[in-house]
């Protein structure tokens, strides 16, 4: 059975801290891994990673995929209170018609 596991499930930090969120996966026919941010509404797209070792970056957020060890990390530097959200990791399989299989998410709380 396909599995996507995120850790930690929750994290509380202070503004300015750097955080690393983890996502490991066990799926057959892996194609891509996606990160989403979810506040009290719909998930918003952050990154899609298909190739190992290539960092994707957007402002203070960055992410990288390791297809050998089957995991990805999402880094957020200089955190702000607006980064407080649930961060979701999802995988797409070659044979799945692009359906996303999500992990449980990491609840990040950034305190001022």
Partner 1 sequence: DTGVSQNPRHKITKRGQNVTFRCDPISEHNRLYWYRQTLGQGPEFLTYFQNEAQLEKSRLLSDRFSAERPKGSFSTLEIQRTEQGDSAMYLCASSQGQGPYEQYFGPGTRLTVT
Residues forming contacts to partner 1 in the complex (CB under 8 A) are 4, 31-32, 34, 36, 41-45, 48, 50, 88, 90, 92, 96-105
The least CB distance from residue 93 to partner 1, in Å, is 9
Compare residues 17 and 22 and give the one whose CB is closer to partner 1. Answer: 22
Residue 83, helix vs strand vs coil: helix
Residue 75, helix vs strand vs coil: strand
The least CB distance from residue 110 to partner 1, in Å, is 20
Residue 81, helix vs strand vs coil: helix
- Per the DSSP assignment, residues forming a β-bridge with 10 are 107
The least CB distance from residue 100 to partner 1, in Å, is 6
28 DSSP 8-state letter: S
């Amino acid at each position: 059975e396909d599995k996507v596991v995120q850790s930690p499930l929750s994290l509380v930090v202070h503004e300015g801290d750097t955080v690393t969120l983890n996502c490991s996966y066990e799926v057959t026919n892996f194609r891509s891994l996606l990160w989403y941010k979810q506040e009290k509404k719909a998930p918003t797209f952050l990154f899609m990673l298909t190739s190992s070792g290539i960092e994707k970056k957007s402002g203070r957020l960055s992410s990288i995929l390791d297809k050998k060890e089957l995991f990805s990390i999402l880094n957020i530097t200089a955190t702000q209170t607006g980064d407080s959200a649930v961060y979701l990791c999802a995988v797409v399989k070659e044979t799945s018609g692009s359906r996303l299989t999500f992990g449980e998410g990491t609840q990040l709380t950034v305190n001022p």
